[in-house]
């Protein structure tokens, strides 16, 4: 009997990876959020309110939609 760590469910809607996923040089991953090309300045927040703003700006730069 063979037990695999990596498999695709019936119908192909989900793929489970139980081991390492190694992406070789030159490969392309489609559908993931890409990090911005420019650097993001380090936070200089001195209060929780400005730290929250810096954090939300980071989420925006990463393309992650924050909810209230």
**pLDDT value, residue 34:** 67
Closest CA to 40 of 25, 24, 28, 56: 56
Tens of pLDDT along the chain (68 residues)?
A: 777 888 899 999 999 999 888 999 999 888 877 666 677 889 999 999 999 999 988 888 877 877 76
Indicate the DSSP class of residue 20: -
Indicate the DSSP class of residue 49: H
């Amino acid at each position: 009997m063979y037990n695999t760590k990596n498999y695709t469910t019936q119908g192909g809607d989900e793929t489970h990876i139980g081991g390492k996923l190694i992406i070789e040089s030159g490969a392309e991953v489609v559908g993931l959020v890409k990090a911005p090309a420019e650097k993001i300045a380090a936070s200089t927040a001195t209060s929780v309110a400005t730290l929250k703003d810096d954090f939300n700006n980071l989420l925006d730069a990463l393309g992650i939609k924050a909810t209230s």
